[in-house]
Amino acid sequence: MLELVQASTYAADIDRLILFIGVIVGVWFLLAEGIFFWLIWKFRAKPGERTQYLDGTEKNVKKWITIPHALVLVCDVFILVGAVSVWYDVKQQLPDADSTIRVIGQQWAWTFQHPGADNELDTSDDIFTVNDLHVEVEKTYHFQLESRDVLHSFSVPVFRLKQDAIPGRSITGWFTPTRTGEHDVQCSEICGIGHGVMAARIHIEDANTHAAWITRSSAATTP
Amino acid sequence: MAETLAEVQKQEVHGHDHDHHDQGFVSKYIFSTDHKIIAMQYLFTGMLMGVIGGYMAYVFRMQLAFPGISVPGFGQVSPGEYNSLITNHGSIMIFWVAMPVLIAAFGNYLIPLMIGADDMVFPRINRLSFQVFFISSVVLLLSLFVEGGGFGGAWTSYPPLSASGDYNLTQLGASLWLIAVALEFVAFLLGGINFITTLMNSRAPGMKAYDIPMVCWMIVIASILFMLSVGPLLAGAVMLLFDQTLNTGFYDPARGGDPILWQHLFWFFGHPEVYVVLLPAIGITVDVMATFSRKKLFGYKLVLYTAVATGVLSFFVWAHHQFIAGIDPRMANVFTVTTLLISVPIAEMLFVMIATLYGGSITLTTPMLWALAFLAEFLIGGVTGIFLGASGADIYFHDTYFVLAHFHYTFFPIAIIGTFCAFTYWFPKMFGKMMNETLGKIHFWGTIIPFNFIFIPLFVLGMGGQHRRIYNFEHFPEIAGPEYFQLRQIATIALLIMLAFQVVFFFNVVMSWWKGEKAGKNPWKANTLEWTTESPPPHGNWPVEELPTVYRGPYEYGHPDREEDYWPQNLPG
């Protein structure tokens, strides 16, 4: 199996949900396939043997359908609770932010607007980068996702985060990186012939490195 | 009511028959109004399109496994060509293979024969349906060769990318693609009207609602779903065409439009569409399973009601395709509930199919193998869908290869396994000859085993974070490692093997048609009405005085009151 690190606070929640669903449907799947193949073997044609005449309405046989049927519904409820609670955490609620960044998709690159030294977006010391996003570990970020032309999708697999960018709208979301490192940022909504090269990197840095990057970048952009 | 209609029909058949003696080749095979010929036209056009769609899959899978390679039979794949290939592969396989073969071809062939009618109620509309479909296929294929190449905005065709040539760089290809899809919808609306009306009005005397073979019910329910869902998309397609050609702004936010509107219109159709093709495939497999396990269907009404329930529910789940598309996040919860609910009737339907085997006498003929494989493989497609319907997990899985592998595990069993199942089962009726069983089984295993080797690696890649519609993964360092490329290569090589085995199928068809053993009227000892006439059936299906009357349901196998283990629907007593 391919390993993918968990680098946000909710990455583990999403992985746990996937595992939880995997166990439930895995059991159902193995059971169904097991019974299925067993029946094929057990009731293979044998000379001279007559088949049973059942039409599925007899109570004593119908229960073999109705009981699993009810159990499916029960399992659905468990999955539903798990899915909605994770969804609520990631997408519906918005924890207070330490910092806000802007992510802008366009054919075929990502532009990242960092707040700079004053930690305020849309001020003169904002740092603009193309295809390189710099964030500090253990800080909660809000992102404002925008698009200049067509649909894009801001996807950071190590965060387990994905959100489409829509021209004409600004969509706010959040993440909190939990470990330092450098990872892929993808565009996961087809956006034209350059969709396959619309790759960016996210640099998750500790406080010192991040501060040094801000100083260095501010110096570079100041005339 | 049924009796009087049948009487009228018998008189009409008389008049009809006299007009149609000594047809020339063109009027018999090209402009025919005979439902069987129209079915063949749909079948062979659909299969030809399937070969083209398969070729496209071959080209882009080669590019994915061996980026930059000059693909034999195509050449180097550019990003634009790659997008066009995946877009048209998807469109072709759903709109020009699954629908024409499963619904139009088998619907046309089977409905009149299985309900004891001489033809469709509107034979000329039926002919028009195929003609419109044929034009739509030509328009689609032409769109691949215009300036800029074929449309490359994915089969979902999301604006603004699809709405402007400035963005997609295939101005003409995009418009032709859209026109082809719209024409195809018109063809299926015409066909659907015919199926529904024919089933309601032309049944043999004595055939009550619960005596109708399941495959006919399923095709008609699918046609109803299609009619109810396609309207909004047709309206949306016209708006998109206006955006493309007349510079309107229905989907352009700068001019007060909204790109998300298209997604709603598309998926309001798009999700019922899944069940539009699924239900006929289920109908085919339950019929075949009943015949070869010599068992009455376990709960006829249960299957029928769950099909209707699935159909109704399918209109309330569309936004699970849009969880992360920027819709109000609270709405995702509602659609998670409805989506998980739809697993209940579908699971019930599959349980019923499994239960039908209980107490049977199972013979593993080629059609039966296909029917059983449908169930075994579709289960994988079904259970993996739960991950995607659960909003929290979909945040990660959305637009990854996990989604791709999931829907191929539903569509492949539906469109490919379902088609082979029906084709091998009704081949003796269609062509009057038996197919070669050995070649049939070689083809079966040569298709099923590689199929799993194509898509199981893609599940793994999807879990590893590989996203869709990327022509070269080398640009993403985290998913460009050798272990990722190995999985991609396994999938591609399995595809090559699977495609190679299709040669066996075509060889088998040609050889069996040419030299096969004569089939006789009822080679499978089945109950339904199509097996009571000659193979292949004559024009008008039965001689007028022999049009069948129905005395019982379609699945009376192993009845205790009868010596033979089957009891055809048309036998009195």
How big is the CA angle at B470 (ends A157 and B278), to the nearest 5 degrees?
A: 90
What pLDDT was estimated at residue A1? 57
Residue B458 to residue A71: CA distance in whole angstroms: 30
Beta bridge partners of B195: none
Q: Tell me the CB-side half-sphere exposure of residue B564, using CA atoms within 13 A.
A: 8
User: Given CB atoms, is A153 within the 8 Å cutoff of chain B?
Assistant: yes
CA dihedral A174, A177, A178, A184 (to 10 degrees): 130
Using an 8 Å CB-CB cutoff, list chain B residues near A184: 465, 476-479
List for chain B the helix, strand, coil content (%; round to 5). 70, 0, 30
* Preferred mutation among B161, B452, B485 to probe A, highest tally of A CBs within 10 A: B161
CA dihedral A7, A11, A13, A17 (to 10 degrees): -140
Beta bridge partners of A149: none
Please state the rounded mean pLDDT for residues B540-569.
92
Please state the rounded mean pLDDT for residues B143-154.
94
Distance from CA of A53 to the nearest CA of B (A): 6
Q: Which of A27, A62, A131, A197 is nearest to B379 (CA)?
A: A27
What is the gyration radius of the CA atoms in chain B, in angstroms?
24
* Chain length of chain A: 223
State whether residue B401 is helix, strand or coil: helix
Q: What is the pLDDT of residues B18-75, one digit of tens each?
A: 444 566 777 777 888 999 999 999 999 999 999 999 999 999 999 999 999 999 999 9
Residue B168 to residue B173: CA distance in whole angstroms: 10
What pLDDT was estimated at residue A48? 81
Residue B368 to residue B357: CA distance in whole angstroms: 11
Residue B560 to residue B558: CA distance in whole angstroms: 6
Q: Is the pLDDT score of A47 beyond 90?
A: no
The first and second tokens of residue B289, run together, are 């399973």
Q: What is the pLDDT of residues A173-186, one digit of tens each?
A: 999 999 999 999 99
- Name the CATH superfamily for B2-15+31-546: Cytochrome c oxidase-like, subunit I domain (1.20.210.10)
Contact B350 A44 (CB under 8 A): no
- How is chain B split into domains, by residue range? 2-15+31-546
Please state the rounded mean pLDDT for residues A21-29.
96
What pLDDT was estimated at residue A50? 85
DSSP 8-state class, residue B72: T
Residues whose CB is less than 8 angstroms from the CB of residue B525 and which lie 6 or more positions away in sequence, other chains included: B291, B564, B565, B566
Q: What is the pLDDT of residues A69-79, one digit of tens each?
A: 899 999 999 99
Q: Is the pLDDT score of B12 beyond 70?
A: no
What pLDDT was estimated at residue B53? 97
Residue B448 to residue A36: CA distance in whole angstroms: 17
Question: Residues of chain A with pLDDT > 70: what percent?
Answer: 98
Please state the rounded mean pLDDT for residues B98-126.
95
Contact B360 A52 (CB under 8 A): yes
Residue B559 to residue B569: CA distance in whole angstroms: 13
Question: Parallel, antiparallel, or unpaired for β B75-76 and B70-71?
Answer: antiparallel
Q: What is the pLDDT of residues B278-331, one digit of tens each?
A: 999 999 999 999 999 999 998 899 999 999 999 999 999 999 999 999 999 999
Q: Is the pLDDT score of B15 beyond 90?
A: no
Residue B323 to residue A91: CA distance in whole angstroms: 10
Residue A111 to residue A102: CA distance in whole angstroms: 8
Q: What is the pLDDT of residues B479-524, one digit of tens each?
A: 999 999 999 999 999 999 999 999 999 999 999 999 999 999 999 9
User: Given CB atoms, is B331 within the 8 Å cutoff of chain A?
Assistant: no
How big is the CA angle at B465 (ends B464 and B469), to the nearest 5 degrees?
A: 125
In this predicted structure, which of A44-53, B83-92, B137-146, B414-423 has the lowest mean pLDDT?
A44-53
User: Given CB atoms, is B406 within the 8 Å cutoff of chain A?
Assistant: no
Compute CA distances B201 → A15, B8, B33, B216, B571, whole Å: 54, 11, 19, 13, 22
What pLDDT was estimated at residue B248? 93
**H or E stretch at B126:** helix B123-143
Residue B33 to residue B30: CA distance in whole angstroms: 9
User: Given CB atoms, is B479 within the 8 Å cutoff of chain A?
Assistant: yes
What pLDDT was estimated at residue A221? 59
Q: Is the pLDDT score of B17 beyond 60?
A: no
Please identify among residues 184-243 of chain B the ones whose CB lies closer than 8 Å to any CB of chain A: none
* Preferred mutation among A9, A44, A51, A77 to probe B, highest tally of B CBs within 10 A: A51
User: Given CB atoms, is B332 within the 8 Å cutoff of chain A?
Assistant: yes
Please state the rounded mean pLDDT for residues B112-125.
95
Query: CB-CB: which of A87, A164, A195 is closest to B333?
Result: A87
User: Given CB atoms, is A43 within the 8 Å cutoff of chain B?
Assistant: yes
What pLDDT was estimated at residue A222? 53
User: Given CB atoms, is A34 within the 8 Å cutoff of chain B?
Assistant: no
Residue B301 to residue B283: CA distance in whole angstroms: 13
Residue B540 to residue B37: CA distance in whole angstroms: 12
Residue B514 to residue A20: CA distance in whole angstroms: 55
The region, left, alpha or beta by phi > 0 then psi within -120 to 50, assigned to residue A113 is beta
Using an 8 Å CB-CB cutoff, list chain A residues near B171: none
Residue B212 to residue B301: CA distance in whole angstroms: 11
Please state the rounded mean pLDDT for residues A212-222.
81
Whether ipTM exceeds 0.90 = yes
Domains and CATH numbers, chain A: 11-92 (no CATH), 99-221 (2.60.40.420)
The rounded mean pLDDT for chain B is 93
Residue B504 to residue B21: CA distance in whole angstroms: 38
Residue A123 to residue A221: CA distance in whole angstroms: 13
Using an 8 Å CB-CB cutoff, list chain B residues near A86: 391-393, 395
Please state the rounded mean pLDDT for residues B370-394.
96
* Chain length of chain B: 573
Please state the rounded mean pLDDT for residues B245-253.
93
What pLDDT was estimated at residue A62? 85
Q: What is the pLDDT of residues A115-156, one digit of tens each?
A: 999 999 999 899 999 999 999 999 999 999 999 999 999 999
Please state the rounded mean pLDDT for residues A57-65.
84
The rounded mean pLDDT for chain A is 93
